[in-house]
């Protein structure tokens, strides 16, 4: 029977070393939360890094065995690889470049070499596990070279690639000293998926300008093969979020939070710590709301969850300080004994408590300056079982291409953001419900299962088409 091997840098679980051995908890980030519901079907396996450094062979064997029981196969990274491949090339070169933060990007030859070496390491791990009939589905910017490496070893293999972050304009890609190699790496796949048509067009334009390969209807002809690019907006496990929000546990948590918060309206913000998420801009907009509309003082609170991430990378540490300072300043200026403008948490929350927060929120403020998709927006929608609540969404999140019934804003236009908040807090219940019903219909229909099916069916179809052309 053929299986699908999902390959991503991070596994959907991350390990911790304790006195009793290794313990595991769910990873953060859209890839893990999104695909976590689908990978265990049909003997599939997820190949990736378990999130900590394990160098002792005996310990590696122990972790491998623990993960095998949950259909996962670890790729171990050394401390140096974590520094140069993960924090270095992946998160200090590719991440800022692909999110239009070129000013933060570094261009280190040693980081590039580590990136190549780790992609090769993943290649060896996949070749050990994958049979000739298996489909290999590679995910995200940490593994852009992997499809071509696999192709060289297994010319007939079925290989899909999906990019979970934006693909930027050619002007950004050409700045990278290794742009052409990265594109060639991606072209090793049979099918390359993006969240939006915009990202797909940027990719095709970069392939044409940097590699001189034209495309027609999303098909790129390399010297030896046809590669297809297409848009597949990722969804969530809608049922799981809707059920969690309706559960007795979520109701109980919500009651406790409500008692603590009193009657204030709640604006919710949830992100990994990242400069692409627009967290500081959001805080400034909330401050301006309290200045411009004093009627909201004492009547609305921002609940802001920031999940720790990549804190060894300089810009992330600096952003954390900026956020701490902004929250401190705004709270010091506006709080009173009975009310706090901002409730700020720097940690991850268990799913049951998250469900309660989504339930309670009057407004979700999802305002990244750049975001591949943003699944928090979709999780909020799925959790609104009474269809009350307003989503304010950045037009620069991939999700904005689908979620036209949200209040769409430009995240750098603070004035517009303030007016959107004011409008959302005043929105009549009927309008909230009309908008939310439309949003729910869409997010429910195109859930993560539909997304997986669409991608994998398309991959099978494009493979069959190639084989037919080859034998004609």
Residues that bind ligand F6P (CB under 6 A): 10, 28-32, 140, 164-165, 309-310
C-beta separation of 73 from 45 below 8 A: yes
Q: What is the DSSP string of 200-222?
A: HHHHHHHHHHHH---EETTEEE-
3-state secondary structure (DSSP) of residue 154: coil
Phi and psi (nearest 5°) for 301? -125, 145
The whole-angstrom separation of Cα 451 and Cα 399 is 14
Neighbouring C-beta atoms of residue 145, cutoff 10 Å: 23
Nearer to ligand F6P, 32 or 409 (CB): 32
- Please report how close the Cβ of residue 149 comes to ligand F6P at its closest, in angstroms: 19
Helices (H) and strands (E) in the chain, counts: 18, 17
Q: How far is the CB of 87 from ligand F6P (least distance, A)?
A: 9
- DSSP notation for 308-338: ---TTSHHHHHHHHHHHHHHHHHHHHH-BTT
- In DSSP terms, 139 is beta-bridged to 8, 162
Closest chain position to ligand F6P (CB): 29
Do residues 188 and 159 lie in contact, with contact meaning Cβ atoms separated by under 8 Å? yes
CA distance 444 to 441: 5
323 vs 326, which CB is nearer to ligand F6P?
323
The answer to whether the beta carbons of residues 373 and 233 sit under 8 Å apart is yes
CB of 324 to ligand F6P, least distance (A): 20
CB of 384 to ligand F6P, least distance (A): 24
The least distance separating ligand F6P from the CB of residue 31, rounded to whole angstroms, comes to 4
Closest CB to ligand F6P among residues 48, 341 = 48
Are the C-beta atoms of residues 448 and 379 closer than 8 Å to each other? no
Nearer to ligand F6P, 30 or 432 (CB): 30
Specify the DSSP class assigned to residue 371. Answer: B
Q: Report the C-alpha gap between 325 and 379 in whole angstroms.
A: 29
Name the minimum Å distance from CB 30 to ligand F6P: 4
Q: In angstroms, rounded to a whole number, what is the distance separating the alpha carbons of residues 350 and 143?
A: 29
With beta carbons less than 8 A apart as the criterion, state whether 151 and 83 touch: no
Least Å distance, CB 127 to ligand F6P, is: 22
Q: Which is nearer to ligand F6P, 145 or 165 (CB)?
A: 165
- Residue 140 or 379: which CB sits closer to ligand F6P? 140
Pick the closer one to ligand F6P by CB: 34 or 188.
34
Nearer to ligand F6P, 9 or 340 (CB): 9
Q: Which is nearer to ligand F6P, 36 or 341 (CB)?
A: 36
CA distances from 427 to 113, 363, 391 (A): 53, 10, 11
Q: Closest approach of Cβ 29 to ligand F6P, in Å?
A: 3
Q: State the Cα–Cα distance between residues 292 and 419, nearest whole angstrom.
A: 10
Query: Residue 104 and residue 180: Cα distance in Å, rounded?
Result: 21
Nearest approach in angstroms of CB 424 to ligand F6P is 27
Length of the chain: 472
Residue 199 vs 286, nearer CB to ligand F6P: 199
CA-to-CA distance for 435 and 387, rounded, in angstroms?
A: 8
In angstroms, give the least distance from the CB of 101 to ligand F6P.
Answer: 14
């Amino acid at each position: 029977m053929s299986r699908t091997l999902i390959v991503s840098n991070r596994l959907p679980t991350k390990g911790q070393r304790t006195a009793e051995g290794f313990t595991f908890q769910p990873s953060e980030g859209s890839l893990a939360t999104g695909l976590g519901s689908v990978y265990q079907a049909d003997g599939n396996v997820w190949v990736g890094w378990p999130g900590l450094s394990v160098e002792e062979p005996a310990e590696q064997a122990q972790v491998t065995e623990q993960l095998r029981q949950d259909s996962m196969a670890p790729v171990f990274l050394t401390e140096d690889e974590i520094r140069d491949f993960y924090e270095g090339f992946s998160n200090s070169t590719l991440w800022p470049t692909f999110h239009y933060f070129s000013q933060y990007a570094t261009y280190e030859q040693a980081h590039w070499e580590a990136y190549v070496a780790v992609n090769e390491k993943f290649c060896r791990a996949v070749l050990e596990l994958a049979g000739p009939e298996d489909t290999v589905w590679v995910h995200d910017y940490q593994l852009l070279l992997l499809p071509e490496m696999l192709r060289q070893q297994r010319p007939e293999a079925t290989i899909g690639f999906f990019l979970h972050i934006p693909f930027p304009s050619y002007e950004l890609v050409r700045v990278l000293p290794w742009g052409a190699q990265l594109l060639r790496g991606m072209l090793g796949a049979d099918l390359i998926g993006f969240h939006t048509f915009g990202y797909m067009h940027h990719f095709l334009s970069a392939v044409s300008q940097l590699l001189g390969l034209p495309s027609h209807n999303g098909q790129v002809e390399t010297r030896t093969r046809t590669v297809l690019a297409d848009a597949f907006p990722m969804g969530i496990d809608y049922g799981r979020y809707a059920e969690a929000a309706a559960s007795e546990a979520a109701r109980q948590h919500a009651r406790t939070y409500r008692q603590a918060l009193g009657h204030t309206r709640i604006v919710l913000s949830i992100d990994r710590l990242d400069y692409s998420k627009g967290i500081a801009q959001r805080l400034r907009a909330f401050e301006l709301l309290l200045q411009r509309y004093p009627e909201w003082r004492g009547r609305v609170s921002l609940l802001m969850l920031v999940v720790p991430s990549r804190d060894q990378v300089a810009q992330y540490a600096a952003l954390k300080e900026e956020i701490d300072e902004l929250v401190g300043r705004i709270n010091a200026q506006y709080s009173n004994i009975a009310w706090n403008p901002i409730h700020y948490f720097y940690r991850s929350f268990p799913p049951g408590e998250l469900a309660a927060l989504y339930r309670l929120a009057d407004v979700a403020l999802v305002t990244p300056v750049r975001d591949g998709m943003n699944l928090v927006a979709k999780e909020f929608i799925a959790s609104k079982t009474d269809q009350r609540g307003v989503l304010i969404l950045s037009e620069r999140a991939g999700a904005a291409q689908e979620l036209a019934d949200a209040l769409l804003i430009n995240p750098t236009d603070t004035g517009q953001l303030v007016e959107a908040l004011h409008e959302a807090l005043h929105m009549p219940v009927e309008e909230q419900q009309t908008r939310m019903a439309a949003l729910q219909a869409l997010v429910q229909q195109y859930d993560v299962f539909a997304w997986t099916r669409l991608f994998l069916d398309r991959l099978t179809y494009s493979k069959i088409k190639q084989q037919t052309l080859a034998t004609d």
